[in-house]
Chains A and B, each alone.
Chain A
Amino acid sequence: METLTVTTAAVTDNQRWVDGFAERPDLQQGPAQLVSFRQNAIEKLAQTSFPTRRDEDWRYSDFTRALNEDWATQVAQAPQVVRNTFEIPDFTGFVLVTIDGEFQPDLSDTIPGLVVSTTEALIDDATHGSWIAERLSSFAEDDNAFTNLNAAFAKTSLFLSIGKNEKIGKPVHVIHLATRNASKRFINSQVFVRIPQGAELTIDETFDTLAQGEAIFRNHVIRGSVDAQGRLEYRSIQNEGRNDYHVSNANFDQAGTGYIDHTRVDLGGSQVRNNLDINHKGAGLETHMAGLFFARGRQRIDNQTFLDHAFPHGESNEIYKGIVMDNAVTSFNGKVLVRPDAQKTNAYQQNDNLIIGTKAEANAKPQLEIFADDVKCSHGATIGQMDEAPLFYLMARGIDRGTALGMLQRGFLLEVLDRINSEAVRAYVEHMLMAKFNEA
C-alpha cells in the first residue's frame, strides 16, 4: 500500500544558496571560464525550484525539509587522513582521493598512462578544455536544481582520461571523503571521465566520511563520455551514515560500438536519490546497468534511470534488485526509450524487490517507450514478501533465524552481486551487506 502525502507549496529557499555563493570568494577565483560557469549556474539556480513530490519523477524523494536545514558549504579543515582506512581490502589497483569534493593529489597514487587532473587545471587545455566546457555548460543549464547547485559550488573537480586505444590494466578506486564537523555540511562533488576511442577504464567509486559530527548532504555529479570501441566499467558504492543525504547525478554519452557496464550499490544514507542517464550516440553499442539497494530503519532510497536508445543495433541490460524492511521506502523508476531509428534494439529490464515486515514500502515503475517496430524489449518488476518456507527449511537444519534470513537476503541479491567483476570489490560489498543484515 502506498500513501502519498501532498505537502502544500513546499518551497525551498534558494536565496540562501545565492547568499552562500556570494560569501565564497574562492568560487569567484580561478580560470575565467570556470568562474563564469559557476556564475551562470547560481543564476540558473536562483530561478529553478528544487523538485518536490508534486513532480512525477520525484514522488518518492522530497528533499525540501533537508534542503531547508542550515548547511555550510565552506571547505572544512580536513583532519589527518589515514588513507588505508578507506581502501577496499585486497584491491589491486590504483587509489585516488577527494575530500569534500576536491581532488587530493597528495593522498592519491600516480597512475602511469592515466590523465588524472582537475577541471581547474584543464579548462583551458588544448586537448580536454573544450570537452570539459561542453559538459559544464550542459549541466549548469540543466533544469535540475541539484545539478545547478553542484555546478555553482564544485571546485577542483577530478578529471580522468586515458589515451586513445589505451588501457591501464588495473581498476581505479576513487575514494570520496566528506568531513564532518560541528555544523551540517553540504558537499558538491564532481567527477569527469573521458574514454576516447578504443580505450578502457574501470572505476570503483566509494563514499565515506571523516571525523565525527553533524550530517552530510552530498550532491554528487559524474559526467562522462565513451567513444567508439571504448569500454567503461563504473561501479559506485554508497554506504554513508544513516543521517546523511545523498543525491547523485550520473550522465554518460555513449558512442556507437562503445561499452558501459555500471553497477550501483546503496546501503547507507538517510535519504538517497540516484539519477542515471545514458545517452546513446551511435549504432551497435552495449550498456549494462545494475543496482543493488538495501533499506532499513527509516531510510529512503530512490533510483531513477534513463536509457535513450537512439540508434540501431543497441543492446541494453538493466537489473535492479532491492530489499526493504522496517519503515524504509524504496523506489525504482526505469525509463527506456527506443526511438524510431533504433531498430534491432535488444533492451531488457528487470526490477525485483523483497519486502520484509509489514511497514516497509517498495515502489517499482518500469517505463518502456518503444517507437521502433523491429526490436526485442522486455521488462519486469516484482515486489514480493520473504517466504516462510525457505526460512523454515534452513532453520530445520540448525541455522539460526538471523543467519538464515541473511542467507536468503544475500541469495535474493546474488544476481547483482554476480555482476561485480572484481573479487575484492564484491567481497567488500558483501561484507557491508552482511553487517547490515546483522544489525538488530
Chain B
Amino acid sequence: MLSIKNLHSQVEETPILKGINLDIKPGEVHAIMGPNGSGKSTLASVLAGREEYEVTDGSVDFLGEDLLELDVDERAQNGLFLAFQYPIEIPGVTNATFLRSSINAIRKANGLDELNGAQALKLIREKMAAVEMDPSFLKRSLNEGFSGGEKKRNEMLQMMLLEPKLAILDETDSGLDIDALQVVAKAVNSMRDANRSFLVVTHYQRLLDHIVPDFVHVLYQGRIVRSGDKSLALELEKRGYDWIKEEVDAQTA
C-alpha cells in the first residue's frame, strides 16, 4: 500500500524528517506517536502534498506510483486521505457544495459516474447520521464557526464519503471530548477492512484505546526510533516519552 524509504524533508531550510522508513500493508492500522516537535504532523503533511515541506531525499510509493510526483488533488484521487489537525474554515462555500464537489471529483478521476444533487445528498445524509452530525451543517459554510469537535466530525464525514484506500489521521483526537473521540473511533472502525489502511498520528495513547493499532511507531527527531505493537503505546502512556528520548540521545551522543 504505502512504502516510505529514507524520507527526508525540510521546511525553510530546517530539516524535520531525517530518514523515515515505513511500510504499510493493506488492512493494517499503524499509529505514529512521539513527543511534540518530533515531526509527526510533518510526515502527514508531506504525504498529503503540502507545498511548504520540501522533500530533500527518499521516496514514497503509494499503490505502485511515486507519490511525491503527484499533485495534491491526484493523491486524493488515488485514494489518499488526510484528516486535518486544523480543518480550514472556508466562508462562502457551503459544506454541501464542498462535499458533493469532492465526492464527484474523486468518482470522476476513478471513471465512475458523477452523482447528481439528490443522489449525493442522500449519501451525505446517511453518513452524517453515522458521525452524529445534524443535517443543518450542510447549509453552513465549510467549517466556519464549527466547534473543534464539529470540525473533526466533518473530517470523519469526508473520510466516510470518499472511502480512501489510505487514511491519515493527523492528531484527530486533539482537543476532543470523549463523545467526539468515540465518534472518530467509530468512523475509523466501521471502515476498517482488508483493503484499507490507516495511519493514525497521535500524541496520546487515549485514541488507541478505541482504534486498536496493529503497529505503533515512535517518532523522535525526525526518525522512527522504536516500533512495536499496541503494548508500546501503553508503555508510553505509563512512562512518557523521556525514557525513549534518553535512550536515543545516549546512542547518538
Footprint of B on A, CB under 8 Å?
388-390, 392-401, 403-404, 407-408, 410-415
Residues of A within 8 Å of B51, CB to CB, are 388, 392
Q: Which label, helix, strand, loop or mixed, suits the secondary structure of the A interface?
A: helix
- Taking a contact as CB atoms closer than 8 A, the residue among B82, B101, B109, B141 that contacts A396 in the complex is B82
Docked Cα-Cα span, A407 to B92, in Å, equals 8
Docked Cα-Cα span, A392 to B97, in Å, equals 17
Closest residue of chain A to B143 (Cβ to Cβ) is A393
Q: Are A407 and B76 in contact (CB under 8 A)?
A: no
Closest residue of chain B to A393 (Cβ to Cβ) is B88
* Inter-chain residue pair count (beta carbon < 8 A): 76
Residues of B within 8 Å of A414, CB to CB, are 91-92
Q: A390-B88, A414-B92 are in contact. Are A400 and B98 (CB under 8 A)?
A: no
Footprint of A on B, CB under 8 Å?
48-51, 71-73, 75-77, 82, 84, 87-88, 90-93, 97-98, 101-102, 105-106, 109, 141, 158, 162
Q: Are A397 and B90 in contact (CB under 8 A)?
A: no
Q: Are A397 and B87 in contact (CB under 8 A)?
A: no
Residues of A within 8 Å of B76, CB to CB, are 395-398
Q: Are A394 and B98 in contact (CB under 8 A)?
A: yes
Q: A407-B97, A407-B98, A407-B101 are in contact. Are A395 and B72 (CB under 8 A)?
A: yes
Q: Are B97 and A398 in contact (CB under 8 A)?
A: no
20 additional A-B residue pairs with CB within 8 Å, beyond A390-B88, A396-B75, A398-B77: A392-B49, A392-B50, A393-B87, A393-B90, A394-B90, A395-B49, A395-B73, A396-B49, A396-B76, A397-B101, A397-B102, A397-B105, A398-B102, A398-B105, A403-B105, A408-B92, A411-B91, A411-B93, A413-B92, A414-B91
Which 8 pairs from chain A and chain B are nearest by CB?
A411-B92, A398-B76, A414-B92, A397-B102, A395-B72, A398-B105, A398-B106, A393-B88
Residues of B within 8 Å of A410, CB to CB, are 92-93
- Taking a contact as CB atoms closer than 8 A, the residue among B48, B82, B84, B101 that contacts A399 in the complex is B101
Residues of A within 8 Å of B71, CB to CB, are 395, 401
User: What would 14 A/B residue contacts be, using CB atoms closer than 8 Å?
Assistant: A395-B76, A396-B72, A396-B73, A396-B75, A396-B84, A397-B98, A397-B101, A397-B158, A398-B76, A399-B73, A403-B105, A407-B93, A410-B92, A411-B141
Q: Are A408 and B93 in contact (CB under 8 A)?
A: yes
Query: What's the nearest-Cβ distance from chain B to residue A386, in Å?
Result: 12
Q: Are A411 and B106 in contact (CB under 8 A)?
A: no
Query: What's the nearest-Cβ distance from chain B to residue A317, in Å?
Result: 19
Residues of B within 8 Å of A401, CB to CB, are 71, 73
Docked Cα-Cα span, A410 to B76, in Å, equals 23
